[in-house]
Structures are given as C-alpha cells and as structure tokens.
Amino acid sequence: SSASGASCASALLPRRLYVMPPFLCPLFSSLDRPKQRSHEGSSAMSKIYIAGPAVFNADMGAAYYEHVRRLLRVHGATPLIPVDNEATGAAEIRAKNMEMIRQCDAVIADLSPFRSHEPDCGTAFEVGYAAALGKTVLVFTSDRRSMREKYGGACDAAGMTVEDFGLPFNLMLCDGAEVFGSFDDAFFHFVRQCSK
C-alpha cells in the first residue's frame, strides 16, 4: 500500500494453496505479466528494503534475491537487501539492517508463514520499525487466510485464543490496506502508486 505501516487484507481473502517454499512464490508470479516500461514513473531511484526470511535458505533464497534485483533495476529502483551487508556478529548485522531501513524509501516484506503459521519475527520487527519511521510498507504472504482458518478454530493446540478479526496476521501488523500474494504484486503496486 502507499500508506505507511504494514499492509493487511480484509476478511474476504482468497484461499491460496501452495507447495513451494513461500519465498519462491514471487519467482513465478510475473511469468505471464506483460513487460513493463523501464524506469516507469517516479519509482526510478527509489530505494526499497527487502525484508523476509529468504535469507535463511542459502540456495533458494539466492534465486529469490537475484529475481528481486533484476526486477527492481529494470524499473530504476535500488534494492537494499540484508545479505548484501558485510557484517559479522548479531549486533553488527542488526545495526546495518536498521541503517538500511532508515535509508530506504519503502519496505517490501515477506510475512509468509515461517516455522509455523506466523511470520518471521525478525521481519515483523523490521515492519514495525519502518512504520515507526514513517516509511511506506507493503507486505505479501503465501497464505492470506484468516488466523482462525490457519489454526482451525478459536484456540490453537496449546489452548491459547486465536484472535478473530479476519486477518492473516496479528492486528499489530495490519493497517487495513491490501496484503499481496507475491513480491511482484507488491512491487508493481508501488510502481503504480509512484506513477500517479
């Protein structure tokens, strides 16, 4: 979305079934998309921070990041990707990622289920940090069902209540705007907003 803060869909979200790792879905979403004009609109020269758990899969994550780099550069945008930082140790990695977020014009975050039904907690932090800075934040997920659909009812396996707002994430990650089904969808929405 063009508004700051995390994006989230309303209760009437399409059920999406998938068999590939969430961060690979974007690699296939633009195969049938008409070719776009290079450097379209004012997205040219925008710096976009790429948040998400793809960093934890060395092989498939590398393919995802290469796809993102190509797509953004065709449109004149600069990808800011955490794996491009030269850093060692937790404190330095965290500091450099946060500096990238401060430098960016927008964040596109993968909030797909990670090690459970929930998004990667590091990505969730980055979304909140960017929102607090007033950055444009767009999010996507491979599973846009509501939380109660994902957990199968009003309580999870541990007996904890599952919130019932018809949202795919905790309400603190949502601002009422659209949640996208892939990185490509989120990015092209950003391009269209920049062109207005």
Q: Rounded to an integer, what distance in angstroms lies between the CA atom of residue 103 and that of residue 56?
A: 23
Which residue in 136, 115, 118 sits closest to 127, CA to CA?
136
Which residue range is the domain that position 58 belongs to? 22-195
Q: Is residue 128 part of a domain?
A: yes
Q: What is the pLDDT of residue 162?
A: 86
Q: Is residue 11 part of a domain?
A: no
Q: What is the tally of structural domains in the chain?
A: 1
| pTM of the predicted model over 0.85 | no
Does residue 156 fall inside a structural domain? yes
- Residue 8 in any domain: the answer is no
Helix (H, G, I), strand (E, B) or coil at 160: coil
DSSP string, 176-191: SS--BSSHHHHHHHHH
pLDDT tens-place string over residues 163-185: 889 889 888 888 777 899 999 99
Q: Are 9 and 178 in contact (CB under 8 A)?
A: yes
- Residue 10 within a domain: no
In-domain check, residue 78: yes
> Which is more confident, 175 or 76?
76
| pLDDT of res. 59 | 79
The 8-class DSSP code of residue 140 comes to: E
Please report whether residue 6 resides in a domain. Answer: no
Give pLDDT tens digits for 22-67: 444 444 444 334 344 444 445 667 999 999 999 998 778 999 999 9
The verdict on residue 165 lying in a domain is: yes
Report, in angstroms and rounded to the nearest whole number, the Rg of the chain calculated over CA atoms.
Answer: 16
CATH number at residue 138: 3.40.50.450
